[in-house]
Amino acid sequence: MEERLRAYEERKKRIKERLSKVKKRIVVFSGKGGVGKTSVAVNLAYAVKLLGKTTGLLDADITGPNVPKMIGLQERPIAEQDEIIPLEKDGVKVISIGSMIPPDTPVIWRGPLRSSALQQFLGDVRWGELDILIADLPPGTGDEVLTMAQEMEPDMAIIVTTPQDVSLIDSARAVNMARQLEVPRIGVVENMSGLICPHCGKEIDLFGKGGGKREAERLGVEFLGAVPLDIKARELADKGIPVVLHEPDSPFSRAIKEIAEKIV
């Protein structure tokens, strides 16, 4: 029992030391999957970097690590003196379990093991001096979200939703979880807010529009902005290129950059 307690205290100490060099910590999560949370998190990280901030991106979705694919990251991180050296892509430091396992390999781990991996990402990764660390959390309100909120002590939680009622119901749960965990600042992003037609440029309200803003106002939290569906964003993500870097003037990129400015 004493040995376990010492290990726990040592882990907490390592995490505190690492994060003391990070000025601001942000978690991005959603009440349900399929709302484009990772796309928002990845492009926000690069938009913040474009604003001159040293940035880190932590892929906390252990069972569905899509960050490496979306930024074209193929290398594996290395370890030096019991430390994990994060990879760097286009100026952003990145860590993901997806970079550590063979392609197509499922991560069949129970909650405690997934939480332990996240604690290692916080305590054993050499993040160095960062202005902002953004963590892309898995959907829902499970173990990993709880672990990251408790261990990372975020300054801000960004909840991603779509305008649909079924997504808004779950986003309200995510907002209230962030409240219970006493995250100081909570914001909502409405993703897939209208589809930009690639032929005529007209906006189509495919999933509706405005639901995220109404829900943020109802819950009394900040509405950070609405991000449209953009075919270019999907095409570039499949190629491993953040759209804010390759198509900075696209409707998707402009919306993301406006949100990044509010965050900074």
pLDDT for position 211: 81
pLDDT for position 1: 67
Q: Which domain holds residue 170?
A: 2-263
pLDDT digits (tens, 9 = 90+) for 174-193: 999 999 999 999 999 999 88
pLDDT for position 249: 93
* List of the chain residues with pLDDT < 50: none
- Per the structure, the count of domains in the chain is 1
pLDDT for position 207: 64
For the chain, give the DSSP string: -HHHHHHHHHHHHHHHHHHTTEEEEEEEE-SSSSS-HHHHHHHHHHHHHHTT--EEEEE--SSS--HHHHHT-----EEETTEEEPEEETTEEEEEGGGTS-TT------HHHHHHHHHHHHHTB---SEEEEEEEPPSSSSHHHHHHHHHH--SEEEEEE-SSHHHHHHHHHHHHHHHHTT-SEEEEEEEEEEEE-TTT--EE-SS-SSHHHHHHHHHT-EEEEEEEE-HHHHHHHHTT--HHHH-TTSHHHHHHHHHHHHH-
The enclosing domain of 152 has a CATH number of 3.40.50.300
Q: What is the pTM of this model?
A: 0.92
List residues bridging with 133 in a β-sheet. Answer: 25, 56
